[in-house]
Amino acid sequence: MTDKKAELLAPAGDEESLLSALDFGADAVYLAGKSYGMRAGAKNFDEEGLCRAVQTVHARGVKVYVTCNTVPLNEETDKFPEFISMVQNAGADAVIAADIGVIAMIREFAPGLEIHASTQTGIVNYRTACELYKMGVKRAVLAREVNLENIRIIREKIPSDMEIEVFVHGAMCVSFSGRCLISEYLTGRNANRGECAQPCRWGYYLMEEKRPNEFYKVFEDERGTFILNARDMCMIEHLDDLLDAGVYSLKIEGRAKSAYYTALTTNAYRAALDCALNNERPPQWVLDEVNKISHRPYCTGFFYGHPNDGSKSQDPNEITNGGQYFTDSGYMRKYDFVGTVDCCENGIMTLTQRNYFTLSDELEILSPKIAPIPFSPTKMFNENGEEIDTARHAMMKLTLPSDIVVPPHSLLRKRV
């Protein structure tokens, strides 16, 4: 057993995702209130919900970090002292912030809160990290452009009690550390205030000035048209390298994504991290799990230098250049989340249906800390006790005979 320590940090865009993160092994979660968070599209938490979330998380021995990482305008800055005092009174463990003024106000109005410098801060060198430390920052969430060699240098040259956090999984952005103006320029939705319209995922055409209404696809030579579209990051096979470089917190992106996404990625990275801490390679089922969630083609970002190799694909139609993916902007999806286990006892499994499935589908059950379990029920009954072979109505209660026992909140999925 190694003496290394690490934290698995999972996203919680709403209460359901929060519970999934807790059930499937997160050491800490990050979430946002209704203001100042970089994911305006997530449900997020009002004051009452945030206080309740902190209590729920702490009851499970897990930490909670509140994101305040937008760039606030003047009127929002005036309201921030009241907001951050509420966060401190709720009992949050830390705040993730990017703006220098926000960091200063946290120290002034909520001195009991630990401060983490968001990836939006753009930390790529130890000098910046050290200056932030002088301002009261205890953790640096490094820019995604920093490679392993430079992470090691930063670790060596920053105070020993300052932690390093990096993203290990999820969507990436073509701009530097999320500092993007394309969305606001094209749609009026400011990415730096959590409202990104993701125009980097769009296909583009050109129009020649003397030929109005004649459109031509934008090509980067022969490779395609989605010239701004980034792959997703996946470091599940390389957590040992991150730990060796001095990373403490391993962060999963996805506060705007589903509870199923949170459960699956947290479960997979929990198992992979535990293996890394024991100097073991993750079992194959762990590596397979990240391909069972909707995702774009994966790569390892900038950790190993410029992402000019990208991920190897079996698809001969894929058009790619390392970290960019020019074929399209869609997701790859092999499984659908179809139900949540409410209880499983006395040979009966009770489910809450989430999406359409039938008894003839290839089903699996996902439970914490174990490989997925194939599930082939022969019968299914609706809320009225009537036997059915197709579940059509979301949120309907179902019962199925089961010779396996799994804990509540396990998830049922089907192969697409």
Task: Dump pLDDT digits (tens) for 38-95.
Answer: 666 568 899 999 999 999 999 999 999 999 988 888 988 999 999 999 999 999 999 9
Looking at residue 89, which CATH number applies to its domain?
3.20.20.70
Domain assignment of residue 51, yes or no: yes
134 pLDDT above the threshold of 70:
yes
Check whether residue 354 and residue 268 sit in a common domain: no
pLDDT score recorded for residue 267: 97
175 pLDDT above the threshold of 80:
no
Looking at residue 359, which CATH number applies to its domain?
2.40.30.10
pLDDT mean over 383-396: 94
Check whether residue 158 and residue 252 sit in a common domain: yes
C-alpha to C-alpha distance for 93 and 5, rounded to whole angstroms? 18
Domain assignment of residue 361, yes or no: yes
Q: Look at residues 333, 260, 267 and name the one whose alpha carbon lies nearest to residue 296.
A: 333
C-alpha to C-alpha distance for 50 and 90, rounded to whole angstroms? 7
Check whether residue 102 and residue 160 sit in a common domain: yes
pLDDT mean over 113-133: 96
pLDDT score recorded for residue 318: 46
For residue 117, give every residue at least 6 positions away whose Cβ sits within 8 Å of its Cβ, in sequence order, or none: 96, 97, 98, 103, 123, 129, 132, 137, 139, 140, 141
16 pLDDT above the threshold of 60:
yes
Picking from 299, 321, 344, the residue at the C-terminal end of a domain is: 299
Range of the domain at 344: 335-415
Domain assignment of residue 188, yes or no: no
Q: Which neighbouring-strand residues pair with 107?
A: none
For residue 208, give every residue at least 6 positions away whose Cβ sits within 8 Å of its Cβ, in sequence order, or none: 214, 216
Check whether residue 255 and residue 388 sit in a common domain: no
Check whether residue 137 and residue 37 sit in a common domain: yes
Check whether residue 77 and residue 141 sit in a common domain: yes
268 band by pLDDT with thresholds 50, 70 and 90: very high
User: Chain-wide mean pLDDT for the chain?
Assistant: 87
Check whether residue 127 and residue 259 sit in a common domain: yes
Check whether residue 86 and residue 29 sit in a common domain: yes
Domain assignment of residue 195, yes or no: no
pTM: 0.85
Check whether residue 295 and residue 340 sit in a common domain: no
Check whether residue 145 and residue 60 sit in a common domain: yes
Query: How many domains does the chain contain in total?
Result: 2
Q: Which of 47-56, 155-164, 245-254, 315-324 has the lowest average pLDDT? A: 315-324
Q: Look at residues 273, 267, 266, 196 and name the one whose alpha carbon lies nearest to residue 237.
A: 273
pLDDT score recorded for residue 42: 63
Q: Are 413 and 336 in contact (CB under 8 A)?
A: yes
pLDDT score recorded for residue 73: 87
Helix/strand/coil for 171:
strand
Check whether residue 282 and residue 362 sit in a common domain: no
C-alpha to C-alpha distance for 161 and 159, rounded to whole angstroms? 5
pLDDT score recorded for residue 208: 67
Token pair for 227:
């010239």
Domain assignment of residue 259, yes or no: yes
Residue 53 burial (10 A CB sphere; 0-12, 13-18, 19+): buried
Most confident of 226-230, 297-301, 307-311: 297-301
Task: Dump pLDDT digits (tens) for 326-363.
Answer: 454 455 788 999 999 999 999 999 999 999 999 999 99
Picking from 245, 274, 299, the residue at the C-terminal end of a domain is: 299
165 band by pLDDT with thresholds 50, 70 and 90: very high
pLDDT mean over 360-380: 95
pLDDT mean over 192-199: 71
Domain assignment of residue 200, yes or no: no
Domain assignment of residue 322, yes or no: no
Domain assignment of residue 225, yes or no: no
C-alpha to C-alpha distance for 3 and 6, rounded to whole angstroms? 10
Between residues 387 and 42, which one has the greater pLDDT? 387
Q: Look at residues 268, 301, 266, 261 and name the one whose alpha carbon lies nearest to residue 285.
A: 268
Check whether residue 13 and residue 81 sit in a common domain: yes
Picking from 252, 282, 299, the residue at the C-terminal end of a domain is: 299
Provide the 10 A C-beta neighbour count for residue 282. Answer: 21
Provide the 10 A C-beta neighbour count for residue 333. Answer: 12
